[in-house]
């Protein structure tokens, strides 16, 4: 009995810290999402508004729908590109792959960089006057020589996707190398002897056995893509216009720039819906029985 | 027609030699066993034949064709892996059907052929299951069925029975033998188990350190071993190897006991090989040499007597009704028709 009391006492500080830094803000933000919640209007933080913030987002805000669309396309593209490229790289770098060497360690470098730093460095690279990529693309694709990348809505979006894919490939590659290493080599060799071509071995043997790892990778990356903020903030700040404004950026803008903290909180809670789906799927894959 | 011919086959990894310049002809429809201790290069040899490993040197022929540059799938062989290499995400049916599917067998032929292969290994009830839901022996049968569902030029089997428990191994051994007689396809079979080799093989190639020590029928390997290694490796219990010399046409132990007539020139140092079966055990004083029993074992079908012979211990097989005890004295006699002499330096057999 005494032992148990001590046990709980020792855990208590940690529980309190988690409550103060995670649970309470969460509850508070949920409460705020039902209030007028203007930072510049005293008392509005307690002014109950019902569901109006939510209906406002759906019915009166093209910018909200724009950010939903941007986030969706951004998530889809970054997840697809990162996964496919990382899988290709993992196949080449995995044990028994073609290019196994010290390259692996180099690969981790982009992942060690903070997203904000990636944003800043890509911004420099695409600078029209002294950007390395800007000059590089200008040379290999001459029609692109005079464009100002970050000023064009489509190209700016492309640069955002590129920066994200570049930053995430290493991590996904490492995870997939681990996944590939767990595919038994003798199943692959058996298929080769059975008469399968390289492509059939990949499709029939490797991919199905890699599927659980691949699913986890895709779900995780989707969660991270949905949340993207710091990189976009440093790279384009949502612009030009709202061409690269993701939901997180939209929330930030409304809450911090316009002071509409109640409205921002309600949009943030809307984002929770896809997150719950993805987290549920993730948990199902990671903790599934054997 | 599918004989397999290895010519000066070599596999090196850096300085390490896995298979050392070996040549071997495997006849059409022959069951050849590669036998040797773990690490002697059996699997490597087989993998080179399958195309899963590139030879450093030498030539591999299957039928009339040099296959060195062919991919595994173009060699028309079927392989049973030591750990079976079943596809865990496919049902047993799909596992067995896979070689047919990837080779473009017409759809309507697949089902009957899979069923026939499954019948041959008595697996028909499990076709809808996944490999995980099968026992070791059943998985082994799936691997076998997957190999026999086609009619390849050559079967390659890498220790297919080694993951089974002792009893199942004996049953499966007989089934394998039955199956191989029925199928009549050239088979190369790798094992470290000399009983498997003796019972299954038309011919055995005994390997050590990447080199084939002797190639012959099980009878030849057993009755006429080419060197000390083969003599010691084949047979259970292992052949007794006794150090001594040849003086005046007699074998003399290092202890100085003049033992038995041998037809060999005098030599200061030889090894005498004699199988436990070829020693007669008699009551004290009634044989060639009286010895003290170090251990007495009764296996049910026979008795094994480990006896102290000077500084060495020697195993003799006695009648199954013999009853003796530790430290009893018995007399053993050697059958001079079944003695083998070896050169201790080179290990080579000294022929009379
Ligand atoms: N890929 C490899 N690289 C280096 N050495 C290897 C490799 N594969 C096998 N060997 C070595 O070659 C020798 C023969 O191996 P193997 O053919 O698997 O023996 P076994 O007769 O037991 O089947 C072993 O000593 C093994 O360690
Ligand atoms: Mg082996």
Please say if the pLDDT value at position A1 is more than 70: no
B240-350 fold = OB fold (Dihydrolipoamide Acetyltransferase, E2P) (2.40.50)
Query: What average pLDDT does this structure show over B250-258?
Result: 82
Q: DSSP H helical segments within B294-348, as ranges? A: none
For B79, the closest of A184, A190, A208 (CB atoms) is: A190
A137 part of a folded domain: yes
CATH for B4-233 is: 3.40.50.300
ipTM: 0.84
Q: Is the pLDDT of residue A95 over 80?
A: no
Neighbours of A109 (CB within 10 A): 9
Lowest mean pLDDT among A255-259, A263-267, B187-191: A255-259
In 3D space, the residue among B83, B4, B13 whose CA is nearest the CA of residue B46 turns out to be B4
A169 φ/ψ sector (left φ>0, alpha ψ -120 to 50, else beta):
alpha
At A100 the pLDDT is 58
- Hey, how many other C-beta atoms are within 10 angstroms of the C-beta on B190? 27
Q: Is A278 part of any domain?
A: yes
Summarize pLDDT for A144-156 with one digit per residue, the tens.
777 777 788 888 8
Would you call B76 helix, strand, or coil by DSSP? coil
Separation of alpha carbons A62 and A73, rounded Å: 16
Mean pLDDT of B206-232: 92
Q: For chain A, how long is the longest CA-to-CA vector?
A: 78
pLDDT band per the 50, 70, 90 thresholds, residue B42: very high
Q: How far is CA B42 from CA A159, B82, B159, in A?
A: 55, 12, 10
Interface A-B: count of C-beta contacts within 8 A: 65
CA distance to partner chain B, nearest, from residue A133 (Å): 42
Q: Looking at the domain assignment, is residue A116 inside a domain?
A: yes
pLDDT for residue B262: 83
- Classify residue A131: in a domain, yes or no: yes
Q: Are B3 and B63 in contact (CB under 8 A)?
A: yes
| Whole-number pLDDT of residue A34 | 85
For chain B, the structural domain boundaries read 4-233, 240-350
What tokens appear for A116 in the block? 């904000």
Contact between chains at A186 and B83 (C-beta distance less than 8 A): yes
pLDDT level of residue A102 (50, 70, 90 thresholds) = low
Residue nearest to atom 26 of ligand 1 (CA): B39
Residue nearest to atom 27 of ligand 1 (CA): B39
Does residue A262 lie in a domain region?
yes
What range does the domain containing A230 cover? 62-286
The token pair at B200 is 């299954």
Q: Which residues contact B114 (CB under 8 A, 6 or more apart)?
A: B93, B96, B97, B100, B127, B145, B149
- In this prediction, residues B115-139 reach a mean pLDDT of 90
Report the chain B residue with the minimal C-alpha distance to residue A185. Answer: B85
Contact between chains at B102 and A208 (C-beta distance less than 8 A): no
Mutation pick for ligand 1 pocket among B33, B37, B44 (CB with most ligand atoms within 8 Å): B44
The pLDDT of residue A224 is above 60: yes
Residues in chain A closer than 8 A to B81 (CB atoms): 186, 189-190
Q: What is the CATH number of the domain that holds A271?
A: 1.10.3720.10
pLDDT of residue B311: 79
Is the shortest distance between the CB of B18 and ligand 1 below 6 Å? Answer: yes
**A25 is a domain residue:** no
Residues across chain A? 290
| Burial call B30-49: b when 16+ CB within 10 Å, e when fewer | bbbbbbbeeebbbbbbbbbb
Q: Whose CA is nearest to atom 24 of ligand 1?
A: B39
Residue B249 has pLDDT above 90, yes or no: no
Mean pLDDT, residues A183-211 taken together: 93
C-alpha dist (Å) from residue B350 to B102, B228, B246, B303: 54, 10, 11, 31
Backbone phi and psi for residue A184, each to the nearest 5 degrees, phi listed first = -60, 130
Q: Kindly report whether the peptide bond that precedes residue A227 is cis, defined as omega within 30 degrees of 0.
A: no
Answer with the residue of higher pLDDT: A136 or B345.
B345
Contacts made by residues A174-177, CB under 8 angstroms, sequence distance 24+: A174/A104, A174/A107, A174/A108, A175/A86, A175/A213, A175/A216, A175/A217, A176/A86, A176/A87, A176/A89, A176/A90, A176/A210, A176/A213, A176/A214, A176/A217, A177/A90, A177/A93, A177/A94, A177/A104
Kindly report, residue by residue over A9-67, the tens digit of the pLDDT: 899 999 999 999 988 988 988 888 888 778 787 777 777 888 878 888 878 888 888 99
Q: Across all residues in chain A, what is the average pLDDT?
A: 84
Q: Which atom of ligand 1 is nearest to the CA of B41?
A: 17
- Taking every pair of C-alpha atoms in chain B, what is the biggest distance, in angstroms? 77
Between A289 and B350, residue with greater pLDDT: B350
Residue A74: the pLDDT is 94
Is the pLDDT score of B266 beyond 90? no
Contact between B295 and B335 under an 8 Å Cβ cutoff? The reply is no
Residues 6+ apart with CB under 8 A from A277: none
> Phi and psi dihedrals of B234, rounded to 5?
-95, 135
- pLDDT-derived band at B228 (thresholds 50, 70, 90) equals very high
Mutate to test the pocket of ligand 1, among B39, B47, B158 (most ligand atoms within 8 A of CB): B39
pLDDT band at A255 (very low <50, low <70, confident <90, very high): confident
Whole-number pLDDT of residue B217: 94
Higher-confidence position of A219 and A127:
A219
Residue B80 clears pLDDT 80, i.e. is over it: yes
CA distance B36 to chain A (A): 22
* Count of beta carbons in the 10 Å neighbourhood of residue A278: 17
Encoding tokens for residue B147?
Answer: 């190999």
* A193–chain B nearest CA distance, Å: 5
């Amino acid at each position: 009995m005494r032992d148990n009391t001590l046990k709980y006492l020792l855990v208590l500080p940690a529980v309190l810290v988690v409550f103060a830094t995670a649970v309470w803000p969460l509850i508070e933000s949920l409460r705020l999402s039902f209030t007028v919640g203007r930072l510049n209007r005293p008392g509005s933080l307690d002014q109950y508004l019902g569901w109006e913030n939510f209906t406002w987002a759906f019915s009166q805000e093209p910018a909200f729908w724009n950010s939903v669309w941007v986030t969706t396309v951004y998530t889809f593209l970054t997840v697809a590109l990162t996964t496919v490229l990382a899988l290709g790289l993992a196949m080449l770098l995995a044990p028994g792959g073609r290019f196994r060497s010290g390259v692996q360690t180099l690969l981790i470098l982009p992942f060690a960089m903070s997203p904000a730093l990636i944003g800043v460095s890509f911004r420099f690279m695409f600078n029209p006057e002294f950007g390395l990529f800007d000059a590089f693309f200008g040379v290999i694709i001459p029609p692109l020589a005079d464009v100002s990348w970050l000023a064009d809505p489509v190209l700016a979006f492309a640069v955002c996707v590129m920066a994200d894919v570049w930053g995430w490939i290493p991590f996904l590659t490492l995870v997939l190398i681990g996944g590939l290493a767990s595919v038994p080599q003798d199943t692959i060799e058996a298929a080769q002897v059975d008469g399968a071509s390289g492509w059939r071995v990949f499709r029939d043997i490797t991919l199905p056995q890699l599927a659980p790892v691949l699913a986890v990778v895709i779900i995780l990356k989707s969660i991270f893509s949905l949340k993207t903020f710091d990189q976009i903030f440093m790279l384009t700040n949502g612009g030009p216009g709202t061409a690269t404004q993701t939901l997180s950026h939209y929330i930030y803008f409304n809450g911090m720039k316009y002071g509409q903290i109640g409205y921002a909180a309600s949009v943030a809670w809307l984002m929770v819906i896809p997150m719950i789906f993805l987290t549920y799927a993730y948990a199902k894959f990671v903790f599934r029985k054997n | 027609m599918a004989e397999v011919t290895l010519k000066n086959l070599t596999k090196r990894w850096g300085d390490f030699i896995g298979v050392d310049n070996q040549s071997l002809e495997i006849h059409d429809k022959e069951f050849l066993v590669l036998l040797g201790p773990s690490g002697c290069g059996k699997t490597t040899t087989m993998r080179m034949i399958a195309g899963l490993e590139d030879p450093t040197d030498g030539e591999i022929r299957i039928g009339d064709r040099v296959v060195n540059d062919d991919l595994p799938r173009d060699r028309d062989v079927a392989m049973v892996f030591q750990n079976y290499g079943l596809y865990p995400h496919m049902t047993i049916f799909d596992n067995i059907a896979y070689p047919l599917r990837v080779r473009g067998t017409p759809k309507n032929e697949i089902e009957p052929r899979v069923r026939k292969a499954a019948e041959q290994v008595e697996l028909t009830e499990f076709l809808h299951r996944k490999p995980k839901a099968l026992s070791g022996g059943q998985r082994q049968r799936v691997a076998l069925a997957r190999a026999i569902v086609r009619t390849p030029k050559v079967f390659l089997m890498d220790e297919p029975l080694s993951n089974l428990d002792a009893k199942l191994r004996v049953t499966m051994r007989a089934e394998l033998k039955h199956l191989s007689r029925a199928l009549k396809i050239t088979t190369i079979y790798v094992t470290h188990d000399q009983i498997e080799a003796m019972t299954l093989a038309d011919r055995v190639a005994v390997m050590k350190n990447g080199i084939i020590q002797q190639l012959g029928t099980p009878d030849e390997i057993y009755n006429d071993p080419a060197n000390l290694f083969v003599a010691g490796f084949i047979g259970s219990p292992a052949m007794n190897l006794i150090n001594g010399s040849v003086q005046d046409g007699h074998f003399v132990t290092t202890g100085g006991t003049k033992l038995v007539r041998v037809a060999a020139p005098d030599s200061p140092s030889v090894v005498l090989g004699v199988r436990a079966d070829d020693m007669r055990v008699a009551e004290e004083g009634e044989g060639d040499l009286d010895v003290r029993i170090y251990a007495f074992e009764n296996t049910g079908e026979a008795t094994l007597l480990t006896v102290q012979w000077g500084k060495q211990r020697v195993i003799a097989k006695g009648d199954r009704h013999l009853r003796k005890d530790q430290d009893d004295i018995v007399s053993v006699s050697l059958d001079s028709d079944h003695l083998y002499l070896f050169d201790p330096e080179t290990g080579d057999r000294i022929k009379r």
